[in-house]
Structure 1
Amino acid sequence: MTGIYALISPDGRLEFHDGVPERIWKDADPHNSAPSTFAIQHASRSALGLEGHAGGSSALVCDAYPPNHVAGSLVAALGGSERYFFGNLTIYGSRILPGSDEVARRGLSEAQQQLITAVHAVVSQPIGNV
């Protein structure tokens, strides 16, 4: 299964890529390919969700994972929990499978990509310019 995902690097850049889950996890945690996954927006039967992936041990290895200030602001502005990020952040879509309560990963929809792009444009501005 491939799908579009967002990659936010520590320098604040936002890029969209098309990839399989293993590529998404490698981009989120390039040193271990073992990211932690968390909900940014929970999927429901009537709405798609967003999930984030960040290096599982990134806060413990500061030299390998530089601070990512834009990622924390972006996740909070999208409705996720406020937290500090180190290293890359990837964002992928999620949905509820029809006829069940099971959450499944999916690529970002066009609307989700536009939302992430718009929010990123605001939160990546220097303070005082917003």
Structure 2
Amino acid sequence: MDTNTYALIAPEGSLAFKRGVPSARMWADVDPHFGVFSGFTLTMPSRHGAHGMRGYTAACSARHPESYAPNETAKRVMTALGAPEQPWFGNLVLCGELAGDTGSLDLCGLTKEQQERIRNLHAGAGSAQ
């Protein structure tokens, strides 16, 4: 399993799977303009090794529409993943999350199953446009 993959959903609707969790490249994909990001847990990892999922977006994206285009595809994918329906702006990055031995939450790559789920939701979101 590739344990270092994250998903990037861009405002124009594209989906890319990239390597590097966490890395400077991943953070630059989240917010290429100001480098300030906000993270949120979509699904909690279990203490028994099951992966959770975490999302990241630019922290100031809704306040700077001149720099961050609306991301309708991300809105549809996030709603399908169980997030509240709300506008999304700029890039959305999704990665995995594991529970550490000390109770900490550690970033990791998406599992193959998570990647496939995102791919399927993205395909459905694109057909809804």
> TM-score, normalization: structure 1?
0.89
Whether the 8 Å CA contact 1:41–1:80 is kept in 2: the answer is no
Give the residue type in structure 2 aligned to 1:81. Answer: P
**Structure 2 segments unaligned to the other structure (5+ residues):** none
Whether the 8 Å CA contact 1:71–1:85 is kept in 2: the answer is yes
1:56 aligned residue: 59
Give the residue type in structure 2 aligned to 1:92. Answer: C
Indicate whether 1:90 and 2:93 are aligned: yes
Structure 1 consecutive aligned stretches of length 4 or more whose deviation exceeds 6 Å: none
Number of paired residues? Answer: 125
1:105 aligned residue: 107
Whether the 8 Å CA contact 1:39–1:80 is kept in 2: the answer is no
The alpha carbon displacement at 1:121 in A equals: 0.9
User: How do 1:1-130 and structure 2 match up within 5 A?
Assistant: 3-21=4-22, 22-46=24-48, 47-97=50-100, 99-126=101-128
Cα RMSD (Å): 1.5
Higher relative contact order (CA 8 A, sep 6+): 2
CA gap of 1:41–1:20, structure 2 versus 1, over 3 A, is closer
SS at match of 2:87: coil
SS at match of 1:70: helix
Give the residue type in structure 2 aligned to 1:9. Answer: A
The alpha carbon displacement at 1:5 in A equals: 0.4
Distance 1:104 1:29 in 2: 21
CA gap of 1:121–1:111, structure 2 versus 1, over 3 A, is same
Which is further off, 79-88 or 10-19?
Answer: 79-88
Identity of aligned residues (%): 38
**Structure 1 segments unaligned to the other structure (5+ residues):** none
Whether the 8 Å CA contact 1:10–1:69 is kept in 2: the answer is yes
Give the residue type in structure 2 aligned to 1:44. Answer: S
